[in-house]
Amino acid sequence: MNPPRTAIKTKRNKVTELWKRIRRLLIYVILIAVAFVYFTPFVYSILGSFMTDREVRAYPPTFLPSRFIPGEWSTLLDNYAEIWRAMHFLRWIFNSVLIAVSVTLANLFFASLAGYAFARLKFPGRDKFFTLLLGTMMIPGAVTMIPGYIIYARLGWLDTYYVLIIPALAQVFNIFLMRQFYQTIPEDLFDAARMDGCSLFGIFWRIMLPLSTPALAALAIYTFMGQWNNFMGPLLYMSDMDMWTIPLGITWIARETYFERYNIVLAGSMFNALPTLIVFILFQKYFIKGIALTGLK
Protein backbone atom coordinates (compact mmCIF):
# COMPACT_ATOMS: atom_id res chain seq x y z
CA MET A 1 0.00 0.00 0.00
CA ASN A 2 1.06 3.56 -0.68
CA PRO A 3 2.24 5.21 2.56
CA PRO A 4 1.24 8.86 1.81
CA ARG A 5 -2.26 7.84 0.90
CA THR A 6 -2.73 6.09 4.25
CA ALA A 7 -1.56 9.23 5.96
CA ILE A 8 -4.18 11.33 4.23
CA LYS A 9 -6.80 8.78 5.03
CA THR A 10 -6.02 8.64 8.73
CA LYS A 11 -6.00 12.42 8.86
CA ARG A 12 -9.40 12.59 7.31
CA ASN A 13 -10.60 9.88 9.66
CA LYS A 14 -9.35 11.86 12.59
CA VAL A 15 -11.31 14.91 11.46
CA THR A 16 -14.53 12.98 11.01
CA GLU A 17 -13.89 11.24 14.32
CA LEU A 18 -13.54 14.60 16.03
CA TRP A 19 -16.65 15.94 14.30
CA LYS A 20 -18.56 12.86 15.42
CA ARG A 21 -17.52 13.47 19.00
CA ILE A 22 -18.53 17.11 18.91
CA ARG A 23 -21.88 16.18 17.43
CA ARG A 24 -22.44 13.58 20.12
CA LEU A 25 -21.49 16.03 22.83
CA LEU A 26 -23.90 18.59 21.40
CA ILE A 27 -26.74 16.07 21.41
CA TYR A 28 -26.03 15.29 25.06
CA VAL A 29 -25.92 18.96 25.98
CA ILE A 30 -29.32 19.57 24.41
CA LEU A 31 -30.92 16.45 25.87
CA ILE A 32 -29.57 17.19 29.35
CA ALA A 33 -30.69 20.83 29.17
CA VAL A 34 -34.19 19.71 28.23
CA ALA A 35 -34.12 17.07 30.97
CA PHE A 36 -33.28 19.87 33.41
CA VAL A 37 -36.32 21.83 32.24
CA TYR A 38 -38.46 18.74 32.83
CA PHE A 39 -36.94 17.77 36.16
CA THR A 40 -36.86 21.14 37.87
CA PRO A 41 -40.60 21.78 38.39
CA PHE A 42 -41.07 18.31 39.89
CA VAL A 43 -37.99 18.25 42.10
CA TYR A 44 -38.57 21.82 43.22
CA SER A 45 -42.17 21.11 44.15
CA ILE A 46 -41.19 18.02 46.13
CA LEU A 47 -38.75 20.25 48.03
CA GLY A 48 -41.44 22.92 48.30
CA SER A 49 -43.80 20.48 49.97
CA PHE A 50 -41.37 20.34 52.93
CA MET A 51 -40.78 24.10 53.22
CA THR A 52 -42.17 26.50 55.80
CA ASP A 53 -44.63 29.22 54.79
CA ARG A 54 -41.83 31.75 54.63
CA GLU A 55 -39.43 29.58 52.60
CA VAL A 56 -41.93 28.62 49.94
CA ARG A 57 -42.49 32.28 49.09
CA ALA A 58 -38.92 33.53 49.57
CA TYR A 59 -37.16 35.50 46.86
CA PRO A 60 -34.58 34.69 45.66
CA PRO A 61 -36.05 31.17 45.99
CA THR A 62 -34.88 28.80 48.73
CA PHE A 63 -33.98 25.37 47.47
CA LEU A 64 -33.20 23.47 50.64
CA PRO A 65 -36.02 23.32 53.20
CA SER A 66 -34.74 24.15 56.69
CA ARG A 67 -36.66 21.11 57.94
CA PHE A 68 -34.06 18.93 56.21
CA ILE A 69 -31.47 20.03 58.77
CA PRO A 70 -31.06 17.19 61.31
CA GLY A 71 -32.13 19.27 64.32
CA GLU A 72 -35.46 20.14 62.63
CA TRP A 73 -36.46 16.62 61.68
CA SER A 74 -39.33 16.52 64.12
CA THR A 75 -41.15 19.09 62.00
CA LEU A 76 -40.20 17.46 58.66
CA LEU A 77 -43.67 16.16 57.84
CA ASP A 78 -45.66 19.08 59.26
CA ASN A 79 -47.18 20.08 55.91
CA TYR A 80 -48.22 16.52 55.18
CA ALA A 81 -49.72 16.16 58.65
CA GLU A 82 -51.65 19.38 58.14
CA ILE A 83 -53.14 18.35 54.79
CA TRP A 84 -53.88 14.89 56.15
CA ARG A 85 -55.88 16.45 58.97
CA ALA A 86 -57.67 18.83 56.59
CA MET A 87 -61.38 18.30 56.31
CA HIS A 88 -62.54 15.65 53.82
CA PHE A 89 -59.01 14.84 52.60
CA LEU A 90 -59.07 11.16 53.59
CA ARG A 91 -62.51 10.83 52.10
CA TRP A 92 -61.25 12.28 48.78
CA ILE A 93 -58.43 9.76 48.67
CA PHE A 94 -60.89 6.96 49.40
CA ASN A 95 -63.23 8.18 46.61
CA SER A 96 -60.40 8.45 44.10
CA VAL A 97 -59.15 4.94 44.87
CA LEU A 98 -62.63 3.43 44.79
CA ILE A 99 -63.57 5.00 41.45
CA ALA A 100 -60.23 4.44 39.70
CA VAL A 101 -59.89 0.82 40.83
CA SER A 102 -63.45 -0.25 40.05
CA VAL A 103 -63.44 1.39 36.62
CA THR A 104 -60.08 -0.20 35.79
CA LEU A 105 -61.18 -3.70 36.81
CA ALA A 106 -64.43 -3.37 34.87
CA ASN A 107 -62.61 -2.23 31.75
CA LEU A 108 -60.13 -5.09 31.94
CA PHE A 109 -63.06 -7.48 31.79
CA PHE A 110 -65.62 -5.80 29.53
CA ALA A 111 -63.26 -4.11 27.08
CA SER A 112 -61.27 -7.28 26.46
CA LEU A 113 -64.45 -9.30 25.90
CA ALA A 114 -65.82 -6.70 23.50
CA GLY A 115 -62.45 -6.23 21.79
CA TYR A 116 -62.22 -9.97 21.25
CA ALA A 117 -65.76 -10.11 19.85
CA PHE A 118 -65.09 -7.23 17.45
CA ALA A 119 -61.81 -8.74 16.31
CA ARG A 120 -62.53 -12.47 16.06
CA LEU A 121 -66.21 -13.39 16.37
CA LYS A 122 -68.56 -13.10 13.41
CA PHE A 123 -72.01 -11.74 14.14
CA PRO A 124 -74.40 -9.60 12.10
CA GLY A 125 -73.81 -5.85 12.35
CA ARG A 126 -70.40 -6.26 13.96
CA ASP A 127 -68.50 -3.85 11.77
CA LYS A 128 -71.32 -1.30 11.73
CA PHE A 129 -71.43 -1.20 15.50
CA PHE A 130 -67.68 -0.83 15.65
CA THR A 131 -67.64 2.05 13.15
CA LEU A 132 -70.35 3.77 15.17
CA LEU A 133 -68.30 3.34 18.36
CA LEU A 134 -65.23 4.87 16.77
CA GLY A 135 -67.21 7.62 15.04
CA THR A 136 -68.50 9.07 18.29
CA MET A 137 -65.00 9.27 19.73
CA MET A 138 -64.52 12.41 17.62
CA ILE A 139 -67.38 14.27 19.28
CA PRO A 140 -66.01 16.50 22.04
CA GLY A 141 -66.93 15.85 25.65
CA ALA A 142 -68.48 19.31 25.81
CA VAL A 143 -71.32 18.14 23.58
CA THR A 144 -72.36 15.35 25.91
CA MET A 145 -71.58 16.99 29.24
CA ILE A 146 -74.77 19.08 29.40
CA PRO A 147 -77.34 16.46 28.30
CA GLY A 148 -75.32 13.97 30.36
CA TYR A 149 -75.80 16.16 33.41
CA ILE A 150 -79.54 16.34 32.79
CA ILE A 151 -79.80 12.58 32.35
CA TYR A 152 -77.80 11.85 35.50
CA ALA A 153 -79.86 14.37 37.43
CA ARG A 154 -83.06 12.65 36.31
CA LEU A 155 -81.65 9.24 37.25
CA GLY A 156 -80.79 10.62 40.69
CA TRP A 157 -77.14 9.81 40.13
CA LEU A 158 -75.66 13.21 40.95
CA ASP A 159 -73.49 13.05 44.07
CA THR A 160 -73.30 9.26 43.90
CA TYR A 161 -70.52 6.95 42.76
CA TYR A 162 -72.71 5.65 39.91
CA VAL A 163 -72.27 8.78 37.86
CA LEU A 164 -68.50 8.34 37.56
CA ILE A 165 -68.39 4.54 37.46
CA ILE A 166 -71.26 3.19 35.33
CA PRO A 167 -70.77 5.28 32.15
CA ALA A 168 -67.04 4.46 32.29
CA LEU A 169 -67.37 0.67 32.71
CA ALA A 170 -66.36 -0.11 29.11
CA GLN A 171 -64.60 2.75 27.38
CA VAL A 172 -64.52 2.94 23.60
CA PHE A 173 -60.80 3.65 23.51
CA ASN A 174 -60.09 0.47 25.47
CA ILE A 175 -62.29 -1.66 23.22
CA PHE A 176 -60.39 -0.22 20.26
CA LEU A 177 -57.04 -1.00 21.90
CA MET A 178 -57.99 -4.60 22.64
CA ARG A 179 -59.43 -5.14 19.16
CA GLN A 180 -56.21 -3.86 17.61
CA PHE A 181 -54.29 -6.27 19.78
CA TYR A 182 -56.42 -9.35 19.09
CA GLN A 183 -56.13 -8.70 15.38
CA THR A 184 -52.37 -9.11 15.64
CA ILE A 185 -52.79 -12.65 16.99
CA PRO A 186 -52.71 -15.02 13.98
CA GLU A 187 -56.04 -16.50 12.98
CA ASP A 188 -54.37 -19.93 12.60
CA LEU A 189 -54.04 -20.15 16.34
CA PHE A 190 -57.74 -19.51 16.68
CA ASP A 191 -58.64 -22.10 14.01
CA ALA A 192 -56.31 -24.72 15.48
CA ALA A 193 -57.90 -24.35 18.91
CA ARG A 194 -61.34 -24.70 17.36
CA MET A 195 -60.30 -27.86 15.53
CA ASP A 196 -59.19 -29.31 18.83
CA GLY A 197 -62.70 -28.75 20.13
CA CYS A 198 -62.07 -25.72 22.28
CA SER A 199 -65.23 -23.69 22.85
CA LEU A 200 -65.39 -20.06 21.72
CA PHE A 201 -65.32 -18.80 25.28
CA GLY A 202 -62.56 -21.31 26.05
CA ILE A 203 -60.44 -19.85 23.25
CA PHE A 204 -60.90 -16.42 24.76
CA TRP A 205 -60.29 -17.49 28.33
CA ARG A 206 -57.44 -19.99 27.89
CA ILE A 207 -55.63 -18.71 24.81
CA MET A 208 -56.41 -15.08 24.03
CA LEU A 209 -56.45 -13.67 27.56
CA PRO A 210 -53.07 -15.11 28.64
CA LEU A 211 -51.52 -13.89 25.37
CA SER A 212 -52.80 -10.38 25.88
CA THR A 213 -51.09 -9.58 29.19
CA PRO A 214 -49.07 -6.66 27.74
CA ALA A 215 -52.14 -5.11 26.12
CA LEU A 216 -54.15 -5.59 29.31
CA ALA A 217 -51.37 -3.96 31.31
CA ALA A 218 -51.39 -0.95 28.98
CA LEU A 219 -55.18 -0.78 29.25
CA ALA A 220 -55.13 -0.98 33.04
CA ILE A 221 -52.49 1.71 33.36
CA TYR A 222 -54.14 4.19 30.99
CA THR A 223 -57.59 3.63 32.46
CA PHE A 224 -56.39 3.99 36.03
CA MET A 225 -54.50 7.15 35.18
CA GLY A 226 -57.41 8.68 33.26
CA GLN A 227 -59.75 8.11 36.19
CA TRP A 228 -57.30 9.09 38.90
CA ASN A 229 -56.56 12.39 37.16
CA ASN A 230 -60.13 13.06 35.98
CA PHE A 231 -61.08 16.59 36.91
CA MET A 232 -64.08 17.62 34.86
CA GLY A 233 -66.26 14.62 35.77
CA PRO A 234 -66.28 15.21 39.52
CA LEU A 235 -66.45 18.97 38.95
CA LEU A 236 -69.66 18.65 36.95
CA TYR A 237 -71.45 15.92 38.85
CA MET A 238 -70.37 16.19 42.47
CA SER A 239 -71.51 19.13 44.54
CA ASP A 240 -71.29 17.30 47.87
CA MET A 241 -67.73 17.72 49.13
CA ASP A 242 -67.78 14.21 50.58
CA MET A 243 -68.07 12.85 47.04
CA TRP A 244 -65.14 14.78 45.59
CA THR A 245 -61.92 13.20 44.38
CA ILE A 246 -58.36 14.39 45.04
CA PRO A 247 -57.88 16.62 41.94
CA LEU A 248 -61.08 18.52 42.66
CA GLY A 249 -60.34 18.62 46.38
CA ILE A 250 -56.86 20.07 46.11
CA THR A 251 -58.06 22.67 43.62
CA TRP A 252 -60.60 23.85 46.15
CA ILE A 253 -58.08 23.71 49.00
CA ALA A 254 -55.62 25.78 46.96
CA ARG A 255 -58.28 28.40 46.37
CA GLU A 256 -59.97 28.49 49.77
CA THR A 257 -58.48 26.87 52.86
CA TYR A 258 -54.82 27.20 51.98
CA PHE A 259 -54.84 30.10 49.54
CA GLU A 260 -51.24 31.05 48.73
CA ARG A 261 -49.92 28.53 51.25
CA TYR A 262 -48.15 26.74 48.43
CA ASN A 263 -46.26 24.38 50.74
CA ILE A 264 -49.47 22.79 52.03
CA VAL A 265 -51.00 22.69 48.54
CA LEU A 266 -47.86 21.01 47.18
CA ALA A 267 -47.96 18.42 49.96
CA GLY A 268 -51.57 17.69 48.99
CA SER A 269 -50.61 17.50 45.31
CA MET A 270 -48.13 14.74 46.11
CA PHE A 271 -51.01 12.45 47.05
CA ASN A 272 -52.40 13.05 43.57
CA ALA A 273 -49.13 12.82 41.64
CA LEU A 274 -47.12 10.10 43.37
CA PRO A 275 -49.38 7.07 42.70
CA THR A 276 -49.35 7.63 38.93
CA LEU A 277 -45.65 8.45 38.97
CA ILE A 278 -44.83 5.19 40.78
CA VAL A 279 -47.04 3.17 38.43
CA PHE A 280 -45.30 4.83 35.50
CA ILE A 281 -41.79 4.11 36.74
CA LEU A 282 -42.63 0.48 37.50
CA PHE A 283 -44.49 -0.27 34.26
CA GLN A 284 -42.82 2.05 31.76
CA LYS A 285 -42.66 -0.38 28.88
CA TYR A 286 -46.43 -0.84 28.85
CA PHE A 287 -46.96 2.89 28.40
CA ILE A 288 -44.92 2.78 25.23
CA LYS A 289 -46.74 -0.40 24.24
CA GLY A 290 -50.08 1.38 24.51
CA ILE A 291 -48.88 4.19 22.27
CA ALA A 292 -47.51 1.76 19.71
CA LEU A 293 -50.74 -0.27 19.66
CA THR A 294 -53.19 2.53 19.14
CA GLY A 295 -51.12 5.22 17.52
CA LEU A 296 -49.40 3.66 14.61
CA LYS A 297 -52.00 1.43 13.08
Taking every pair of Cα atoms in the chain, the longest distance, rounded to a whole number of angstroms, is: 92
Q: Is 141 in the site for another protein (CB under 8 A)?
A: yes
Site for another protein contains 68 (CB under 8 A): no
69 forms part of the interface with another protein (CB under 8 A):
no
Query: Nearer to another protein by C-beta: 98 or 279?
Result: 279
- 240 scored as a contact of another protein (CB under 8 A): no
Q: Shortest Cβ distance from residue 113 to another protein (Å)?
A: 4
Scanning residues 74 to 113, which ones bind another protein (CB under 8 A)?
110-111, 113
Per CB under 8 A, 229 contacts another protein: yes
Q: Select the span of 76-84, 85-93, 145-153, 185-193 touching another protein (CB under 8 A).
A: 145-153
Per-residue contact string for residues 30-59; x = within reach of another protein by CB under 8 A: xx--xx-xxxxxx-xx--x-------xx-x
Query: Interface residues for another protein in 148-167 (CB under 8 A)?
Result: 148-151, 153, 166-167
Contact call for residue 185 and another protein (CB under 8 A): no
Q: Which of 1, 33, 138, 195 binds another protein (CB under 8 A)?
A: 138
